Chain A
Amino acid sequence: MSPQAFLRRVGFVLFLAVVTAFWALPMLWLVTAPFDAHPGLTVRWPEWTLDNFRRLSESPYAFSSLRNSVLLAGGAMILVTVFGALAAYALSRVHVPGRGAILYGMLLLSSIVTGTAAMVPIFQLMFTLGLIDDRTGVILVLTGGLLPAAIFVLKDFMDATPRSYEESARVFGASPTQVLRHVVLPIARPGLATIAVWALVNAWGDFLTAYILLRDPTKTPAGVVMYTFYSEGGQANLPLISAFSVLYALPVVVLYIFVSRRYGFRFHGGIKS
């Protein structure tokens, strides 16, 4: 190996080491502190215990907030997938007047009207509708924000499913709803699964929408409760925070492992480029 190639090799290894450290170091705490008998802010080898999780059950809002998160994220996931699939199927199969304009408008809208830019009117709207402090309101706002992108992706999936299957089902006397349920949905399942996981992860991690629309601590989801755990004055309760954050993060990690095992977590050139 020439000295130059050797230096390049050293630089390469060094770069990877620095990069790994940069991404891993902040996350290490999430792996060690929840299982440490006396968790501090510093990462260190823990005195192993599961006691922190037992203490979690003594906190009034920990488990109820996780249940709220399940409700909110589950509700948004179902609405996004069902409404998105129906709309995408109709847009894909029937020449609706102004289809191009609808799709173009949705692409623009979804990128312009973000939760942060629209937080004031959304707050005002929900206030007028009497949906402040109502979990349904949060689900609807989250669904509205996620739907345009979902329809976009799902329409591509629907366009790619062959029409000949539907035609033969029709020949055998299936009604349009039966065709949708028994022919189209099974074929479009990978697309539906992708959108469902995407919507779930987005709604599960949501902070802002629930933060501005919910007041009652028994209704707030885990994202908001996590913030109040560490932002409210006084000594941060590290055993509680660490155990809670690992429980709250776990579903996302499990979904990630599932998705990357099953489909591979990368873009297949289909990404808008």
Chain B
Amino acid sequence: MSDHAADAAGLGRPRAAAFMAPALLLITAFLVVPALWTLVLGATNYRLTGLAAANPQFVGTGNITEALSDPGFGWSLWLTLLFVLGSAIFGQSLAGLSLAWSLRSAPKVVKAVVETLVLMAWILPSSVVAFLWVAYLSRHGGTLNAILQTPGTDWLIQHPMASIIVFNIWRGTAFSMLLFSAALSAVPPSQMESARLAGAGTLAQLRDVVFPHIRGHVLTNTLLISLWTFNDFTPYLLTAGGPNHATEILPVFIYNRALYGGELGYGSAISFLMLIINLVIALFYVRLLRERR
């Protein structure tokens, strides 16, 4: 009973292993195996139907080199970059920070209403919010056209990328807002007060007093929302990657090529590249967490 002190409930290792087994089994089967499988499958010319479905051939790194020279993949990667930069790193971060900042001094009712609206946009099911935006942006009878007096503008056709970027800011700002309001409440009020008395404007206060306190939060937030936005499939529900591939960000590109088009081998190779990008962002994040501990 050497580790009795730690094992207060007297579980013992065999029982502890039995407790962990179901969870570890499911995680292995549905996270670890698929991740490794992208490598195996990505090295074949496996297809959903046809000759290559019955007898897939080993093509090695052929799919990866094909992807890297495929203009469709390059275009999709570029769109994904725009999407992550525009909607997450700039859009959600700035909107979240300005909401958290301004709601501190807003009346209680206003604060509650705005927070609830922003949170609703975040937690409602994705196919519901997608249709809400399809209706909102629609060419004939859309509410946005009625407000802006721009009848006949088909936003999802004429400005597809801008539409899904604005949509994702609307959808995901809640997380940044919550994170930054928690961060801002930890800034000592006395420091803000003295900065204000010294005549510092809002921007100067943010830069010199607030930012040093929340630098860690800003990084955490940027990494997490980049990862989520990079892996977001919701734009598919608005545009399905169209018109003419104009909004085909990586997740949609994989779906269209692999599961809709049936090129499972090629799709796996792209998935593998996507996992590598995720790994880089996540390693960066975990490293950061450990440094701060």
Contacts and interface: CB of A to CB of B under 8 A. Distances in A.
Contacts of B121: 23, 26-27
Interface string A8-51: 00001001100110111111111001000000111100000000
Contact of A117 (B30, B231, B292): B231
Contacts of B147: 25
Contacts of B251: 116-117, 119
Interface stretch (B68-76, B112-120, B204-212): B112-120
Contacts of A84: 23
A267 B170 contact: no
B52 interface: no
Interface in A231-273: 231, 241, 245, 248-249, 252-253, 256, 260, 265-269, 271-273
A90 to B, nearest CB: 4
Given A112-B275, A116-B251, A224-B127, A23 B117 contact: yes
Contacts of B138: 41
Secondary structure class of chain A's binding surface, majority of residues:
helix
Contacts of B179: 267, 271, 273
Contacts of A265: 115, 119, 178
B264 interface: yes
B146 interface: yes
Interface in A115-146: 115-125, 140-141, 143-145
Interface stretch (B34-42, B82-90, B153-161, B187-195): B34-42
B197 interface: no
Interface stretch (A53-61, A176-184, A186-194): A176-184
A95 B6 contact: yes
B143 A41 contact: yes
A215 interface: no
20 contacts: A23-B114, A29-B135, A30-B128, A79-B26, A87-B20, A93-B9, A95-B3, A95-B6, A107-B286, A108-B282, A116-B250, A117-B231, A121-B271, A123-B264, A164-B8, A222-B125, A224-B127, A226-B127, A230-B131, A249-B124
Interface of A: 12, 15-16, 19-20, 22-30, 33, 40-43, 79, 83-84, 86-87, 89-91, 93-96, 102, 104, 106-125, 140-141, 143-145, 147-148, 151, 163-164, 166-167, 170, 176, 179-180, 184, 201, 204-205, 207-208, 212, 222-224, 226-227, 230-231, 241, 245, 248-249, 252-253, 256, 260, 265-269, 271-273
